[in-house]
Amino acid sequence: MKETPDNAVATHDEALETIAQETPVWTPEEAEEHYHVKGWGDGYFFVRETGEVAVRPERSGPASISIYEVVRHLKEEKVPFPVLIRFQDVLRGRVQQLNHAFRDAIAELGYRNRYTAVYPIKVNQLHEVVEEVLEAGKPFGMGLECGSKAELVAALAHLEDDDTLLICNGYKDGVMLQLILSGQQLGKNIIPVLEKYDEFEHFMHLARTRKIRPRFGVRVRLTTSGAGRWADSGGDLSKFGISIPELLTLLEHLDDQNRLDAFTLLHFHLGSQIANIQTLKKAVKEIAQIYAQLRQRGVPIRYLDVGGGLGVNYEADFAGLNDGINYTLQEYANAVVHSIMEVCDAEQVEHPAIISESGRAITAHHSVLVVEALGAYRKNEIDPDFTPAKTDHALVHELHATWQWVRETPTMRPAELLEAYHDAAEKRQQADSLFSFGYLPIEQKALAERLYWSICRTINERVRKMDADWLPNELLALDEHLVDQYLCDFSVFQSILDHWAIGQRFPIMPLHRLDEPPSRRAVLVDLTCDSDGKVSRYVTANEDKRYLDVHPLREDEPYFLGFFLMGAYQDIMGDMHNLFGRVTEVHIYADDEEPGGYYIEKMIPGTTVQQMLALVQYFPNDLERRMNALIRAKVEAGVIRPRAGVRLLEQYLATFSGSTYYTPSSSL
Ligand SMILES: *Cc1c(COP(=O)(O)O)cnc(C)c1O
């Protein structure tokens, strides 16, 4: 039948109407509110009218890219998932935001020196990330910070400009100190920050032997310590830093050697993710006081380095919960500049050049891990139309009666619901005992279990709608028992190690279907055979943070979740538990001329099976030889035909170059 255009419109409208009736709508505002997008998204992420999460590459600009559209594009290109998407424009944006915040603070307050950001590469050492940061930071004279030999080797070769700062923290052996001196000999602006008194003696000795005029900084052990997860990076308990008595001894020796001019920088680091701005102000004032007094004694220190610690709002909750911070980027910059200025003005010393080592705040936002939900595991419930047969066990009949009672009495009070729950629990237990003594056939046990979960579900739905002052704990706990498990294609140990190790929360949300309310509660579990391989805390508006609200899976449509603020630390700290390797990475740039407003600049394949195996000393030739021998023996014994043997070997070898993650059959 041929349809007239009018007709087609009518059919379309009808179709829309049916859909509208079937699925209640959810607005982008509701979705953003529910997953706290405005808090952690920092203006980069939002939900479109179409229910898709999008990124604004330029925070204040009108252009945006739908992450879901990028995901579909990658699926079409058969890119293996999970995928880590880097939005290079966001990285650039963060570099600019940081530098502008300090420039504004300096201009506003009339500070008489400049600010230089250095990027601590340990936060994300990926070459493309470091290059992008340097490139975006060029107009601001951005430098680098390193904390180990390998990082120094990487960073040193990137100091194109002689003014570009390279700050070297961490414990330094002779090899590292020699390399730093060589950098200074080359005329590079490389400053080792001495962490221990012996490091000072070692460094000065090497410089004397090589007849180089050295420059160095000192990390001071402040009395102020941070608060929260990384607090031990500062304070008396810290493993880092030179104490005030040691500092005075150091100065005496330096004076004796007539080398006071070598002392160019003072440094402290309170630890990552400073939660409270007051802690920072206190530490900055403490270091500024030390600076002022040293200047007054004629030590020509030029730089005051306030370390890292500039936080990111993972939790998006200003109430001061574990993973939130109580200040903005601008407030941080104002606090640093103002606190230094106040002390210097009171002590009448020159304003020093300010350095900060902010890595987390620069990199966290730019990458999103995209994970596919492979399956949803729900508690097995009974068919709503089920009626027990005469031959079914008495317990099945009794459980069914309890279910009927609950279903047919919508007015039940909490105490009655509790009674029904106790009833069901008792009968299920009886069914279990009868089964273990051999008195209940397995099919009857299955029915009893299904009925039990259906009763729990019905009670739970009632309880969730109740607005009672008092609800029994047993009923509230049903939530936990009834929640779905969504099996997702990733490894907690590779991609969100800090969640497992220190319970850090990352924002996670569906990337699409956000015009539809998420009607299922789920815990996300990963592919590893480890009971810790799950996400146990979420960022949501729910009071109970142990679950994530998600959509029911559809048979014909993959479901994607985005893990946000992945750019800091997680990439590099991930481990190889169960031999899941690095995930595929794609780098995206915004471009108005391209469809969807972006282009994929680069794809870095994830670790293959073969690469993972080589790390634990299994090598392709040996594995092939062994497998071949196993198969040949079976061919010779007549268990399989030679041709089948060849195919088996081919199949085995083909996995070597493949992904370590789950490959959905649809992508084969
Ligand atoms: C880890 C580290 C940083 C980075 O701090 P973030 O606040 O996480 O950006 C800066 N400086 C030093 C000395 C560090 O050890």
> Is the per-residue pLDDT at 211 higher than 60?
yes
With the most atoms of ligand 1 within 8 angstroms of its CB, the residue from 122, 232, 272, 280 to mutate is: 272
pLDDT band at 168 (very low <50, low <70, confident <90, very high): very high
pLDDT band at 17 (very low <50, low <70, confident <90, very high): very low
pLDDT band at 322 (very low <50, low <70, confident <90, very high): low
How many angstroms is it from 269 CA to the middle of ligand 1?
7
Q: How many residues does the chain have?
A: 668
Separation of alpha carbons 604 and 412, rounded Å: 58
Separation of alpha carbons 587 and 604, rounded Å: 8
**Ligand 1 site, residue 358, Cβ cutoff 6 A:** yes
Which tokens in the block code for residue 92? 């650039």
pLDDT at 308: 96
**Ligand 1 site, residue 363, Cβ cutoff 6 A:** no
> Is the per-residue pLDDT at 404 higher than 90?
yes
* Angle between helices 244-256 and 277-296 in degrees, nearest 10: 30
pLDDT band at 573 (very low <50, low <70, confident <90, very high): confident
With the most atoms of ligand 1 within 8 angstroms of its CB, the residue from 145, 240, 313 to mutate is: 145
pLDDT at 22: 59
Q: What percent of the chain has pLDDT over 90?
A: 80
Task: Read off φ and ψ for residue 36, nearest 5 degrees.
Answer: 55, 35
| Inter-CA distances, 164 with 109, 157, 167, 184, 537, Å | 26, 12, 10, 12, 41
**Is residue 283 a contact partner of residue 270, using CB atoms and an 8 Å limit?**
yes
> Is the per-residue pLDDT at 27 higher than 70?
yes
pLDDT band at 134 (very low <50, low <70, confident <90, very high): very high
The set of residues, in sequence order, having a beta carbon less than 8 Å from that of 532 and lying 6+ positions away, is 492, 500
**Ligand 1 site, residue 498, Cβ cutoff 6 A:** no
* pLDDT, mean of residues 456-476: 87
pLDDT at 235: 65
pLDDT at 4: 37
- pLDDT, tens digit (0-9, with 9 covering 90-100), for 536-563: 999 998 888 899 999 999 999 999 999 9
**Ligand 1 site, residue 581, Cβ cutoff 6 A:** no
Domains of the chain: 111-357 (3.20.20.10), 627-667 (no CATH)
pLDDT at 15: 46
* 14 SS3 class: helix
Handedness of CA 554, 558, 562, 568 (dihedral sign): positive
Handedness of CA 431, 433, 439, 445 (dihedral sign): positive
pLDDT band at 324 (very low <50, low <70, confident <90, very high): confident
Separation of alpha carbons 109 and 107, rounded Å: 6
Task: Specify the pairing of strand 353-356 against strand 367-377.
Answer: unpaired
> Is the per-residue pLDDT at 240 higher than 90?
no
- Per-residue burial over 596-624, b = 16 or more CB atoms within 10 Å of its CB, e = otherwise: ebbebeeeeebbbbbbbbeeeeeeeeeee
Burial of 437 per CB tally in 10 Å (0-12, 13-18, 19+): exposed
- Give the position, in ligand 1's atom list, of the atom nearest the Cα of 361: 9
Name the percent of the chain in helix, strand, coil, to the closest 5: 45, 15, 40
> Is the per-residue pLDDT at 577 higher than 70?
yes
Separation of alpha carbons 166 and 305, rounded Å: 12
- pLDDT, tens digit (0-9, with 9 covering 90-100), for 602-657: 999 999 999 999 999 999 999 999 999 999 999 999 999 999 999 999 999 999 99
- pLDDT, tens digit (0-9, with 9 covering 90-100), for 477-488: 888 888 999 999
With the most atoms of ligand 1 within 8 angstroms of its CB, the residue from 91, 222, 229, 357 to mutate is: 357
* 381 SS3 class: coil
> Is the per-residue pLDDT at 352 higher than 80?
yes
Strands (E) in 338-419, as ranges, are: 353-356, 367-377
Range with lowest mean pLDDT among 183-192, 321-330, 471-480: 321-330
Q: What average pLDDT is seen over the chain?
A: 91
pLDDT band at 2 (very low <50, low <70, confident <90, very high): very low
- Give the position, in ligand 1's atom list, of the atom nearest the Cα of 357: 10
User: What is the Rg, in whole angstroms, of the alpha carbon atoms belonging to the chain?
Assistant: 31
> Is the per-residue pLDDT at 571 higher than 90?
no
DSSP 554: B
> Is the per-residue pLDDT at 12 higher than 50?
no
How many angstroms is it from 212 CA to the middle of ligand 1?
29
Handedness of CA 65, 84, 540, 361 (dihedral sign): negative
**Ligand 1 site, residue 219, Cβ cutoff 6 A:** no
- pLDDT, tens digit (0-9, with 9 covering 90-100), for 29-55: 999 999 999 989 999 999 999 999 999
Residue-by-residue DSSP string for 118-160: EEEGGG---HHHHHHHHHHHGGGT-EEEE-SHHHHHHHHTT--
Q: Which of the pair, 230 or 656, is modelled with greater confidence? A: 656
CA angle in degrees (0–180, nearest 5) for 263-266-267: 140
Q: Which among 626, 586, 621 is positioned nearest to 604, based on CA atoms?
A: 586
* Angle between helices 127-137 and 88-109 in degrees, nearest 10: 40
Q: Which of the pair, 519 or 19, is modelled with greater confidence? A: 519
Helices (H), 48-113: 67-76, 88-109
**Ligand 1 site, residue 359, Cβ cutoff 6 A:** yes
Nearest CA to ligand 1 atom 4: 308
pLDDT at 11: 42
pLDDT band at 128 (very low <50, low <70, confident <90, very high): very high
